[in-house]
Amino acid sequence: MSQSLGIGMAGAGIGGLAAAVLLAREGHRVTLFDQFEKAGPVGSGLMLQETGLAVLAEMGLRAKVEALGTPILRLHGVSTDTGRAVLDVRYRALRPSLAGLGLQRAALFDVLHEAAMAAGARILKGTRITAANGQTGILVDAGGGAHGPYDLLIDALGVRSPLSSAPKKELTYGALWATLPWPDAGPFDHTALEQRYEAARKMAGVMPSGRMAQGAPDSLTYFWSIRADQYDAFRAAPLIHWKDAARTLWPETDILLSQITDHDQFTFARYRHRTHGPVVEGRLVHIGDAWHAASPQLGQGANMALLDAYGLMKAFHGEADVARALQRFLRLRAFHVRLYQLMTWAFTPVYQSDGAVNPWLRDRFAAPLLRLWPAPPILAGLVAGGFGSPLKRLGLKAAR
Ligand SMILES: Cc1cc2nc3c(=O)[nH]c(=O)nc-3n(C[C@H](O)[C@H](O)[C@H](O)COP(=O)(O)OP(=O)(O)OC[C@H]3O[C@@H](n4cnc5c(N)ncnc54)[C@H](O)[C@@H]3O)c2cc1C
C-alpha cells in the first residue's frame, strides 16, 4: 500500500477520470475539477485500440465498455480519384483476435465517471481552472479561488489546457462530426471504419459507434473534413450546398445525409498538434492531450490518455516520493508518446491537406505497396497503438 496522497486533478475527461479511478483505488484522496456544470463530454464517436482496452481490462471495465461498443475489424478508405483503396488495415493481419472498438464518447465517459465515483473520487463541477503552481501544489480557478495545497497536481485539461503551452498554430483542417442511428438498410460495413477521399482536400467517414446503453439502438459516427477557415461559411450557407458536395464524394451516404437537417447536429472539432514540455513541473504533471495533442488521424488520443493514467498509477505504486514517482512515470510513457506524436504529424497531411503531392503519391505508390507483406501486419500494429511496446513497458498484456 502506497502512502495516501492528496491529489488535485484538473479535468474530468477520459485521462482525468481514468487516473482518478486508478489512483483513488490505490488509497489516494482524489479531487477532480471540471468546468462542466453537468458531468458529460462534448463530441461524437471515437475508437479504442488494444492499448486503451488493455488498460480498461486492468481496471475491470473492459466488458462494460465492450457491451456499449462495436468491434471494428478493418479500416478501409477509397480514393474517388482512382477508385482504389488507399487505406486498408485489417487488424487480423497482426493477430486473429485483434480488433478496435467504436463507441460513443459519452458512453465511455459514463463508465469512467461511475467508476471514479465508486472509487471515492470527489468532483467539483463548474470550476474552470486557470492556473497551477507546481511548487506549492495549488490550483486556481477563474473566480480567483485557490484549491489545495495538494501533494500532486495533474493537468488533464485536454487539448486547450491553460496549464500547458499553446500550440504554435491550429491545423488547417478540422472535421464536422455527427452521431446518427445505424441505418437498417444501407451499404455500410458494420465491422469497418470506411472513408472516401478526393485528394486530401475532401474526406468523409462512417464509423460504427456502438450504443449509449445495452439494448439501445446502434449508432454510427459520420465525419466530414473541413478547412477551419471555411467553417463559418458552412454555417452561413443552406445545408443543401454541403449535402451536394457530400453526395458527390460518396453517393451511398445519401441515406445518412437525409437525417441531417440542421447545422447544429454537427460538432466542429479543430485539431491541434503539440507536445508540451516539461511534462513534470515540480509536483505538477501533464497527461493526455494536455501533454500530447494531435489530429485524430491515427485515432490514438483517448488510448494514450488511458495509458498515461495507468502509467501514473504504476509509477506511484509503492513510491512515497512524488519527484521520484514522476520521473518513473516519464520513463514509462515518454518514448511511446514521442513516437506516436511523430507518426501522427507525418500521416496527417496524407489524409487532410491542400497539398497535391502527398495524396498523389499515396494513391499511386503507397496504396499498392501497403498491400504487400510485411506492410499489412505493420499497419495493423501501428493502428492498434503497439509501436514502441507501450503495454510491455507498463507490465500490461493485450487481453486476448
Ligand atoms: C473529433 C475527434 C475525434 C477523435 N477520435 C479519436 C479516436 O477515434 N480515438 C482516440 O483514441 N482518440 C480520439 N480523439 C482524441 C481524444 O478524444 C482525446 O485524445 C482524449 O479525449 C484526450 O483525453 P484527455 O483526458 O486528455 O482530454 P479530454 O477528454 O478532452 O478532457 C478534458 C477535460 O477537461 C475539461 N476542461 C478543459 N479545460 C478546462 C478548464 N480550464 N477548467 C476545468 N476543466 C476544463 C473538459 O471539460 C474535459 O472534461 C478524437 C478527438 C476529436 C476531437
* Domain assignment of residue 264, yes or no: no
Distance 84 CA to ligand 1 centre (A): 33
317 burial level (CB within 10 Å; 0-12, 13-18, 19+): middle
Please state the atom number of ligand 1 nearest to the C-alpha of residue 41. Answer: 49
More confident residue, 241 or 297: 241
Instruction: Among 9, 21, 22, 35, name the best residue to mutate to test ligand 1's pocket (greatest count of ligand atoms within 8 A of Cβ).
Output: 35
Looking from the CA of residue 14, the nearest atom of ligand 1 is: 25
- Indicate whether 187 belongs to any domain: no
Omega cis (within 30) before 251: no
Minimum-distance ligand 1 atom for the alpha carbon of 175: 1
Say what the pLDDT of residue 369 is.
Answer: 79
> How does the average pLDDT of the chain come out, rounded?
93
The residue with cell 497551477 is: 132
Q: Rounded to two decimals, what is the model's pTM?
A: 0.96
User: Are residues 218 and 211 in contact, defined by beta-carbon separation less than 8 angstroms?
Assistant: yes
Candidate from 9, 34, 337 with most ligand 1 atoms within 8 A of CB, to mutate:
34
pLDDT of residue 2: 61
Question: How far is Cα 384 from Cα 193, in angstroms, rounded to an integer?
Answer: 14
Q: How would you list the strands of the sheet with 219-227, edge to edge?
A: 85-90, 74-79, 192-198, 202-208, 219-227, 173-181, 267-269
Atom of ligand 1 nearest to the CA of 289: 26
Percentage of the residues of the chain whose pLDDT score is greater than 70: 98
Cα dist from 83 to 79, 103, 267, 372, whole Å: 5, 29, 29, 19
In a domain, 173, yes or no: no
CA distance 295 to 284: 25
User: Ligand 1: which of 157, 171, 344, 352 to mutate, judged by most atoms within 8 Å of the beta carbon?
Assistant: 157
CATH number (domain holding residue 33):
3.50.50.60
Q: How far is CA 85 from the centre of its chain?
A: 25
How many structural domains is the chain composed of? 1
Q: Which of 307, 236, 296, 223 is nearest to 265 (CA)?
A: 223
Please check whether residue 196 lies inside any domain of the structure.
no
Q: Measuring from atom 9 of ligand 1, which residue has the nearest CA?
A: 299
CB 243 within 8 A of CB 315: no
At 348-365, the pLDDT tens digits run 777 777 777 777 777 777
Instruction: Kindly give the pairing relationship between strand 45-48 and strand 292-293.
Output: unpaired
In a domain, 265, yes or no: no
Q: Give residue 161's domain range.
A: 6-168+272-393
What would you measure as the largest C-alpha separation in the chain, in angstroms? 61
The values of phi and psi at residue 58, to 5°, are -65, -30
Q: How far is CA 166 from CA 137, 169, 170, 293, 378, in A?
A: 22, 8, 9, 10, 33
Q: Which triple of cell numbers denotes residue 173?
A: 483542417
Among residues 297, 305, 304, 330, which one has the least CA distance to residue 316? 330
Name residues whose C-beta falls within 8 Å of residue 366's C-beta, 6 or more positions apart in sequence.
86, 350
Q: What is the pLDDT of residue 171?
A: 84
Instruction: Give the pLDDT mean for 125-130.
Output: 98
- Give the model confidence (pLDDT) of 247-272 as tens digits: 999 999 999 999 999 999 999 988 88
